[in-house]
């Protein structure tokens, strides 16, 4: 599925995603926006000010989409660090009430935390979802919040994951949701592949859900994440560039 050239339009197609519909002559923001859902790999921080006024891959992605599609694109970031799938679900109504961070292009002014989300009728062009790594880091990093049941079993984890998808779809039913497969050098051995399989299954159970990039390729690379992460989990400078490029390739091949 590719993003619409000028506006969020009617979704059609199966397997690979596609937008159809005539584009209006003018598009007012925030009709062309992305919703970013995730943990610290998504949440705003100030680690890489060289990329803009928040962090790296988000404004880089927006800038590349704007250049490819013409005109402005925007994102609303509701990511929150140190969250498992279950703990994010437990606070999802708060997360979805207002954006922790919004932005357009690198160097642009970023709206203050608490920016009200667009109304239900103004759906994002796409939802980018990246959760799951913290379900595999319960003993690798401390302290962590208490995680609800379901973090480490397939049925419970998928139920929590699909509940997040359903919450988003209740508000923006026609917006496609792209699910990233995570990677971390510090995770329980093999759990990244296990959860990737759970995500593969989960997207078959809901309409308009698709696979996003795979961090086992994008971040791990050929050197076990030495180039693209600074701690085996989070993106460094090269990692932000790689993740932005990977999302761009999925959203606008």
SS3 content of the chain, % helix, strand, coil (to 5): 30, 15, 50
Mind listing the domains of the chain with CATH numbers?
A: 25-251 (3.40.50.1110)
Question: How far, in Å, CA of 244 to CA of 59, rounded?
Answer: 8
Assign 211 to helix, strand or coil. Answer: strand
Q: What's the average model confidence in pLDDT over 202-209?
A: 94
Higher pLDDT, 80 or 153: 80
Q: Give percent of the chain with pLDDT exceeding 90.
A: 38
pLDDT for the residue numbered 20? 27
Confidence check: pLDDT of 80 > 90:
no
Rg value, the chain, Cα: 17
Q: What's the average model confidence in pLDDT over 127-153?
A: 68
Higher pLDDT, 93 or 122: 93
Q: What's the average model confidence in pLDDT over 66-71?
A: 82
Confidence check: pLDDT of 43 > 70:
yes
Q: State the chain's mean pLDDT as an integer.
A: 76
Higher pLDDT, 31 or 56: 56
Structure tokens at 160: 């929590």
What residues does 103 pair with on adjacent strands?
Answer: 75
Confidence check: pLDDT of 168 > 50:
yes
Handedness of CA 197, 198, 203, 204 (dihedral sign): positive
Confidence of residue 136 (pLDDT cuts 50, 70, 90): confident
Confidence check: pLDDT of 121 > 80:
no
Q: For 221-230, what is each residue's pLDDT tens digit?
A: 999 999 999 9
Q: What is the dihedral of CA 237, 239, 240, 242, to 10 degrees?
A: 130
Q: For 88-120, what is each residue's pLDDT tens digit?
A: 999 898 888 877 666 654 444 444 455 677 766
CB atoms within 10 A of CB 97: 11
Q: What's the average model confidence in pLDDT over 49-60?
A: 65
Confidence check: pLDDT of 44 > 90:
no
Confidence check: pLDDT of 38 > 90:
yes
pLDDT for the residue numbered 59? 83
Of 16-30, 54-68, 192-206, 232-246, minimum mean pLDDT range: 16-30
Confidence check: pLDDT of 34 > 50:
yes
Whether the CB-CB separation of 79 and 40 falls below 8 Å is answered with: yes
Of 37-46, 53-62, 163-172, 191-200, minimum mean pLDDT range: 53-62
Question: How far, in Å, CA of 191 to CA of 183, rounded?
Answer: 9
Structure tokens at 48: 């890489």
Question: How far, in Å, CA of 107 to CA of 188, rounded?
Answer: 37
Confidence check: pLDDT of 14 > 80:
no
pLDDT for the residue numbered 68? 86
Confidence check: pLDDT of 184 > 70:
yes
């Amino acid at each position: 599925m590719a993003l619409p050239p000028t506006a969020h339009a009617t979704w059609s197609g199966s397997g690979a995603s596609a937008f159809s519909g005539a584009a209006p002559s003018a598009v007012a923001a925030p009709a062309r926006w992305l919703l970013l859902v995730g943990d610290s790999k998504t949440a705003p921080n100030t680690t890489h000010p060289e990329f803009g006024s928040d962090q790296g891959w988000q404004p880089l992605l927006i800038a590349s989409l704007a250049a490819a599609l013409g005109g402005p694109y925007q994102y609303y970031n509701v990511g929150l660090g140190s969250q498992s799938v279950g703990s994010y679900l437990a606070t999802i109504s708060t997360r979805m009430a207002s954006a922790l961070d919004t932005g357009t292009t690198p160097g642009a002014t970023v709206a203050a935390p608490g920016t009200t989300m667009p109304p239900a009728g103004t759906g994002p062009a796409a939802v980018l979802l990246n959760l799951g790594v913290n379900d595999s880091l319960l003993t690798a990093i401390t302290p962590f919040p208490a995680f609800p049941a379901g973090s480490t079993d397939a049925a419970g984890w998928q139920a929590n994951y699909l509940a997040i998808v359903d919450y988003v779809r209740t508000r923006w039913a026609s917006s496609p949701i792209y699910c990233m497969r995570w990677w971390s050098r510090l995770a329980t051995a093999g759990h990244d592949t296990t959860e990737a399989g759970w995500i593969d299954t989960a997207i078959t159970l809901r309409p308009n859900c698709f696979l996003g990039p795979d961090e086992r390729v994008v971040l791990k690379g050929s050197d076990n994440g030495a180039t693209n992460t600074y701690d085996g989990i989070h993106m460094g400078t090269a990692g932000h560039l790689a993740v932005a490029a990977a999302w761009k390739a999925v959203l606008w091949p």
